A and B are shown apart, each in its own frame.
Chain A
């Protein structure tokens, strides 16, 4: 009973002491909030990169690209065989779904000298129906959701209109256009191919804000027309397939399809390689290896060390000011370890509370207010702050508080009653 009472007494003292000097508590808490914010942002980026480079075991997307060269440029005729996973023999595995990717960069400005980023447009060229079944995140929209219904309507319009184009909200704003407008797209990579397009819809807000999609058969028709007019094929006519995505149900099916494609003589010139989406992203991120290493092993630890110093400083000031109080507590019967716990408890209360507050506020502001953390590297999407960041932010605040308070707490524990009272006297 005594122990429980003493524990409650200590907890009360921790709470009471924390608010004894509200200014110091607030300053320490604000310092913690700021530094936990940085660590939470670093954690968000690293956690999301880990997630997207993590190999899945089911519902895998297989990426087929040109084996040796970047950017991958394959002949469009590869689609027929790749969409079947190069299955030729009985027992060969076929993919559940597929999507072909072409990339078309252009500008709505006819004058090459005045083109700027606002008139720039980078379009995915693909089969319209695949937008709903194969594109990341869009293939996970609930058919009952408003976002899905609006997108489905846009896709239907794209299927009805060969010259249709779906434009992301941000890109639409940059182009200063609206749904229903017609644009002429002057190509940058497909020389002398200019396309007349009609904006038929937009993507749901978020990942595809800057993206656009138009129909593959429209590009194919434009390339055919080029040949009729110029008497020769367009230089990219046989290089218009940039990527191929295949959906396979399991890891085994992935391995089987990969083997079928790799061994198929149909895909030898140029040779094709297959990999999972996560593996492809992993290779892409290798270019940023040192930067990510720095974020993980320099930035985050430095923030935590700074935080520990800020808390340690605050607690040590507090301990020095309260030497007499600790001496009195000892006289009243408090054990040295209880005094140690008291000081650590005060630090932990500040660290845990402000760590939790900082991480939760970051979670809410970024996920709900900003629609994700924009990580503008390559094609990577915006990153949501994971719910686990709230836990780790709290732990981070508490952990650094513990680390920073150990020495001051030890010094409080070892206060000598006789010395303190002789000084007072």
Chain B
């Protein structure tokens, strides 16, 4: 099963950043060097670890806890980065009103949209330019809780003029059901006198979240929302016509519906966003410059879509810093534990050290032997921690991504354990082992053979 988990990590996710590759190279080289320099058989260390199996296990478990936890925490941040980095399509240009730093604050005149869409450089399907006209807004939904009270949930709604075209532009496909109709509403077959149902398509993430809340409020189903399900918002009943495929992007957390229905319902009569598909990044960049500097009919703020979503990673960076701080403190705490074990190992084997010296092993050989033992302990515990942390891969969690300048998006993300996560965990374990083992090994070095045997 573990091997299956490991193999499930795609090749892309084994990409290692330069600093980590350098650290791994350094630690690997050190390990190889120690093994080459070492003259005391490694089996001696392994047997000693087996004999003192309780201490070995306790120390290794401390490593396991620290590294396992850090792997889970880092996989959360990876999930956030993956989300912000995968939300933009290559060659897509996002056009907002000038000054708007977030879609939610943008307002584009509808009359300008046709002229913008017909600019050269934007791809077409037949005669239709690949430009998705959208109204993005955040709505507050009242969700009943099991105790009879209600809580508020923030829903991200994206009103679209053409859902299929929007799917093409954003690289989103339906996993189940169908797109909402041209009208965007349908009569309620159960209650023909009631207001028509508002048709929407749910992202996979938000469908799961809404299902979870439904189960918590005493609903019968534990599963996510599916085609045909309904919910209430803004005093209207909303009907799910389709579920989008999970892509790991911010769109997984959105609800798509007809712009002409959703926009006015929440007081937004204009578009917030136009997303134009171009042939490549170069064309998108050229168009961006044109809209920002030379376009005269409206004041616009154009940005490469992938860059826009990357800017939402400020929250990720805050979490990453917090994780690094926690990791450092925990590593320091764990290192003291290892130091204890290794000091005990040295003090329990004073006679061994004397015998080794009499057998002709140099002091440096004994030092290397103890450092190696500490590293072996760290690698064993670290690998176990990585293996446990690996199970977090694929878990889903909610969070918020933001650029830190107002706005932000509530998202459902997928935790992602990458090769870099595992390697950094293992490296941290080795650093802890090295720090924890070095001082005790020095104390072993200072022993004199005859004194040790006395």
Contacts and interface: CB of A to CB of B under 8 A. Distances in A.
A283 B151 CA distance: 7
A48 to B, nearest CB: 15
B62 A306 contact: yes
Contact of A314 (B54, B233, B340): B340
Nearest to B332: A34
Interface in A11-68: 23-24, 27-28, 30-35, 37-38, 41, 67-68
Interface stretch (A169-177, A213-221, A286-294): A286-294
A188 B99 contact: yes
Nearest to B401: A287
A377 to B, nearest CB: 8
Contacts of A23: 343
Contact of B98 (A191, A286, A289, A310): A191
Contacts of B58: 309, 312-313, 316
B99 A189 contact: yes
A230 interface: no
Interface string B388-410: 00000000011110001110001
B61 A30 contact: no
A187 interface: yes
Nearest to A302: B69
Interface residues of B, number: 61
A294 B336 contact: no
Contacts of B65: 302, 305-306, 309
B140 interface: yes
Given A68-B234, A310-B337, A317-B344, A34 B152 contact: no
Nearest to B443: A23
B105 interface: yes
B336 A34 contact: yes
B400 to A, nearest CB: 4
B62 A28 contact: no
A120 B397 contact: no
A364 interface: no
A71 B137 CA distance: 9
B257 to A, nearest CB: 14
Given A189-B105, A191-B97, A235-B107, A34 B329 contact: yes
B153 interface: yes
B101 interface: yes
Contacts of A305: 65
Interface string A66-86: 011111010000000000000
B9 interface: no
B340 A313 contact: yes
Given A69-B140, A105-B405, A309-B65, A37 B97 contact: no
A386 interface: no
B340 A317 contact: yes
A282 interface: yes
B368 interface: no
Given A299-B69, A313-B58, A306 B267 contact: no
Contact of A187 (B68, B99, B267, B319): B99
Nearest to B268: A69
A271 B251 CA distance: 28
Contacts of B340: 24, 27-28, 31, 310, 313-314, 317
Contacts, number: 173
B294 to A, nearest CB: 14
Nearest to B335: A31
Main SS of the interface on chain B?
Answer: helix
Contacts of B400: 287-288, 377
Interface in B78-106: 97-101, 104-105
B333 A287 contact: no
B318 interface: yes
Contacts of B266: 68-69
A270 interface: yes
Contacts of B138: 69-71
A306 B334 contact: yes
Given A286-B151, A312-B58, A376-B318, A306 B140 contact: no
B153 A286 contact: yes
Nearest to A290: B397
A122 interface: yes
Nearest to A279: B152
Contacts of B278: none
Main SS of the interface on chain A?
Answer: helix
A12 to B, nearest CB: 25
A120 B314 CA distance: 16
B118 interface: no
A326 to B, nearest CB: 17
B38 interface: no
B72 interface: yes
B139 interface: yes
Given A38-B326, A283-B151, A69 B139 contact: yes
B339 interface: yes
Interface in B364-416: 397-400, 404-406, 410
B399 to A, nearest CB: 6
Contacts of B54: 316
A191 B101 CA distance: 12
Contacts of B105: 71, 189
A277 interface: no
Nearest to A291: B399
A351 to B, nearest CB: 13
A164 B341 CA distance: 64
A307 interface: yes
Contact of B137 (A69, A112, A191, A290): A69
B55 A313 contact: yes
B318 A68 contact: no
Given A69-B138, A302-B69, A282 B151 contact: yes
Interface in B123-163: 137-140, 151-154
A73 B138 CA distance: 12
Interface string B195-219: 0000000000000000000000000
B409 to A, nearest CB: 9
Can you list the 10 inter-chain pairs with the closest CB atoms, starting with the nearest? A34-B333, A31-B336, A310-B337, A290-B397, A70-B138, A283-B152, A313-B58, A317-B344, A35-B333, A302-B69
6 contacts: A28-B340, A70-B104, A73-B267, A122-B405, A290-B397, A302-B68
Interface of A: 23-24, 27-28, 30-35, 37-38, 41, 67-71, 73, 103, 105, 112, 117, 120, 122, 187-189, 191, 235, 270, 273, 275, 282-283, 286-291, 294, 298-299, 302-303, 305-307, 309-310, 312-314, 316-317, 321, 376-377
Interface of B: 54-55, 58-59, 61-62, 65-66, 68-69, 72-73, 76, 97-101, 104-105, 107, 137-140, 151-154, 233-234, 266-268, 299, 315, 318-319, 326, 329-330, 332-334, 336-337, 339-341, 343-344, 347-348, 397-400, 404-406, 410
Given A35-B333, A303-B330, A312-B58, 6 more contacts: A24-B340, A34-B332, A67-B140, A302-B68, A321-B348, A377-B318
